[in-house]
Amino acid sequence: MFGKLLVIVWRTLTSLAALALLAIFIVVPLVVYFGVFHQPAPQVSANSALVVRPTGSLVEQAPSGVKSVLHQKLSAGDGATVVSNLIAAIDEARRDDHIKKLYLRLDRLNGAEPGQLQDITRAINRFGQSGKKVIAWADNYNQARYALASQADQVVLDPMGQVTLPGYAVYRNYFAEAVDKLGIKIHVFRHGKYKSFAEPLMRSDMSPAAKEANKAWTGSLWQIYRELVSAKRPYDAAAVKQYADNYADKFAELDGNGAQLARQSGLVDQLKMWSEVAGQLATSHSGNGDKLKAIGADSYLAAVNARQSSQTNAEITRIVVAGDIASGRKNPNSANSRTITRLFHTARADDDVAAVLLRVNSPGGGINASESIRRQVVKTQAAGKPVVVSMGGKAASGGYWISMNADQIWAEPSTITGSIGVFGLIPTASKPLHELGIKADGVGTTPLSGLLRKNHPLTDRGRKIMQSDIDYAYQQFVTKVAKARDLSRSKVHTNAQGRVWTGRAAKRIGLVDHLGGPVQATQALAKLADLKSGQYRVRTIQPPSSLDMAVQNFLSTHIQADILPGWLIQAKQGSTAGWLKHHLNDPKGRYARCFCRVSQAGLD
């Protein structure tokens, strides 16, 4: 009897364990799916106000699959916002009779690139041209936030806030002296007078050529920004400059009351807390006297997508290249050439795809990886499917390499592009190894054997080979651009040499065809593909996401040093070695990569 009782107890426990496993592996995922992934689409009231509240930084595409859910549900407001989603929501609301007003709540927007800001301001202006009002609010306006707010009919600031417009700057750390003290030799090979990406390893200060180029394009960005924010405000571009130039003195005169300074300068119209603005929203009325109901951008897009049904199979496929262009294993913060290649294959193989919109927001990267993507553009065109490039905040160096053959290139006036130049890096550490008593010795079968090993000084033969390789890559870059853009080689060389241009300047010298955002680029692409308005859909294709990549991206983005030990953060992603491994991994050590990052309030 005792033995039978033990058997009954054992079977009961095993049954409970099986049920628990069933719940873990089947029931729980189903609950999560229907509770998170498969929520019913919200309804849009007949009298609604669209509330757009961008969060974190602006990005070109959301992480896919599980990664996206982790990002949206667990980021707690410090994640990222997809540019195309904001544009789509605002444009749909412009045509939607249910939406009466647009509210821009900008207190969570951390940063954005100038070109991305222009993409969104175009959408805000289109909304305003429909006759509907736009109201903007923030607790503080940095440069990125104010670019969007300045397009509103009414700009509201928290009474404790301020508007800071520091302009644009390029500052870098220079490591030449530190590298010398460590005994490490960094051998830099480059072609292009203005190709300054590797300068911090070669110098202790910015070169005159780099200062000349950086001053030109940052000055152009600042001029474009001042024109942008003054277009709908009661002041001109010169007044914006005066506001920034005299800010310290005026700020002190008002005893640090930045909100009052912004009000007196005409940058804002009212000083109110968000609760007061929200109260106005709750009590405001539509044309028929009904109170307005607020709906967020994400909920609004979900409702729009649920009620829309495509009447055609014709499709424009949108492929995004964002971040450093690299080969090898996929990294969440880079554009992997193998992945992009597969996306182009998918677009070419799909008979419903009539054309490809290539959205580029990249400073470049490895030449081999960039050339792989450029070849996919050419193959897609040869398959009878036109390709148009829409440049975002930047499409420079390798970002321009992959764009050059497109049927059309569209950029915003403040897009950072060009930087047609090449460099290579060979570090050697023979001196510090020697001082540690570590010697290198061996034999080889030819003069090339062990030529570029890191534990031995670089020989004249090695320098000759590397410089020749870089020179050849540069000549290939210039030649390909000249052929693709139908320009003389001498003209391309004059405007190349690693020099950075704004989109406005790039159009003037023939590197860009048109100035405009992704909406205009898509319309032009539809015309090339002989697709009429309303007879096609635009779909972004992304690579499938894995759980491993989701966890890696979430940890590296959201778990800070106060939670994990510093050495682990460095090992995961933050260390220079990790960045070099994933981003500077060209098989021949040749790079078309631009240091074209500007510092401003909300962007670094």
What b/e sequence results for 241-269 when a residue is b if at least 16 CB atoms lie within 10 Å of its CB, and e otherwise?
bebbeebeebbeeeeebbbbbbbebebbb
Which residues contact residue 62 at a Cβ distance below 8 angstroms, ignoring those fewer than 6 apart?
A: 68, 71, 72, 80, 82, 85
Task: Return all residues near 576 (Cβ < 8 A) that are at least 6 apart.
Answer: none
150, 220, 327, 397: which is the annotated catalytic residue? 397
Q: Which residues contact 503 (CB under 8 A, 6 or more apart)?
A: 115, 391, 411, 412, 413, 414, 415, 416, 417, 512, 515
Q: How far apart are CA 300 and CA 52, in angstroms?
A: 10
Secondary element (H or E) of residue 176: helix 176-182
Give the SS3 label for residue 554. helix
Residues 6+ apart with CB under 8 A from 13: none
3-state secondary structure of 127: helix
| CA within 13 Å, CB half, 434 | 12
487, 182 contact by CB (below 8 A): no
In the annotation, is 397 catalytic?
yes
Looking from the CA of 103 toward its CB, the CA atoms found within 13 Å total 23
Residue tagged active-site, from 195, 385, 394, 507: 195
**Count of alpha carbons within 13 angstroms of residue 348, beta-carbon side:** 16
Location of structure tokens 């040499």:
497
Q: Among residues 359, 480, 383, which one has the least CA distance to residue 422?
A: 480
Where helices occur in 383-459 by DSSP H, the ranges are 398-401, 430-435
The CA–CA distances, whole Å, from 263 to 145, 163, 490 equal 16, 10, 52
If 0-12 CB within 10 Å is exposed, 13-18 middle and 19+ buried, where does residue 599 land? middle
Query: Which residue, chain included where needed, has tokens 């009414």?
Result: 154
Report whether 91 contacts 119 (CB < 8 A): no
User: Is 76 within 8 Å of 112 (Cβ atoms)?
Assistant: no
Q: How many CB atoms lie within 10 A of CB 508?
A: 12
Query: Which of 476, 518, 507, 505 shows the shortest CA–CA distance to 493?
Result: 476
Say whether 516 sits in a helix, a strand or coil: coil
Which residue in 221, 233, 78 sits closest to 163, CA to CA?
233
Active-site annotation holds for 545: no
- Whether the CB-CB separation of 127 and 102 falls below 8 Å is answered with yes
Among all residues, which ones are annotated catalytic?
195, 397
